[in-house]
Every structure is written in structure tokens, then in C-alpha cells.
Amino acid sequence: MDRETVERVARAAHIKLTEAELEAYSRDLNEILSYFELLDEAPGCDDYGVNPIDVCDVLRDDEPRMEIDPDLLLKDMNTYEGYVRGPRLS
């Protein structure tokens, strides 16, 4: 994993890295990914899922309900006239 790749990954992850961080993470990630090459030797299988146990969908009746008062949620948010404030889009 070269420096340019680390920079590209950091941009995708919305992380700004200093020069010192770029250096350190390039070194660390190379060491870690080298160790991960062990996975190439591991046996594979076809019948795998994304959870360690079988899970099922749980549906509820399609009835409107309000478990948490929106005013409570807004209380600690940075808001303006009831809207959450965020950065400009462009």
C-alpha cells in the first residue's frame, strides 16, 4: 500500500492526514496487510453468510407511531428554525 493509495483511501473516508500521519499509516498498513496475506492460504467455502448465526427479518404492523419526541432529539442538536444545521453543499 503506497503513499498515494493511503491518500486515496483517506479521501474516500473523509479523513485529512498530515505528512507525519501519512508516513506512519503507510508503514502500519503495509505491515498489517502483509500479515493479512495469511488469508490467501486459508480454506474457503461456498455456504457463508454475513452473520455468525441465521437471522430473519422481523416486521411490525404498518401503523404510525412515535417512540421518541422529535423535540427531545432536536434539543442538543445545532439547529436553525427547527432544521439541523450543516455545511453548504457547494
Partner 1 sequence: MSIDMTMERMRAINDRYLMFHAMAESVDTDAGFTFSAKDNLTSKDMETCAGSKILIGYKPVFDATSIARMREEGGFLMGKTNMDEFGFGTFSTNSGLEVPRNPHDVERACGGSSGGSACAAAVFEDHVSLGVSTGGSICCPASFCGVYGMAPTYGRVSRYGLIDYGNSLDKIGILSAKAGDLRRYINVMAGKDPKDPTSCVQPELKNEERSMKSVAVPKEGIEGLSKDVESAFNNALEDLKRMGIDVEYVDMPSLRFAMPAYYVLATSEASTNLARYVGMRYGQQEGDLSLKFDDYFSSFRSEYFGDEAKRRILLGTYTRMAGFRDRYYAKALQVRKVVIDDYKRILADHDAVLAPTMPFTAPRFDDISKMSALDSYKADYLTIPANIAGTPHMSVPCGYGSDGMPIGMQFVADHWDENVLFTMAEDWEKEFDLRRPEVTI
Interaction site with partner 1 (CB under 8 A) = 1, 5-6, 9-10, 12-17, 21, 25, 28-29, 31-33, 35-36, 38-45, 47-58, 60, 67-69, 72-73, 75-78, 84-90
CB 14 within 8 A of CB 30: no
Our CB check for partner 1 shows the closer of 19 and 68 to be 68
Q: Whose grid coordinates read 474457503?
A: 44
CB of 2 to partner 1, least distance (A): 12
Could you tell me which of 53, 58, 6, 70 has the C-alpha nearest to residue 32?
6
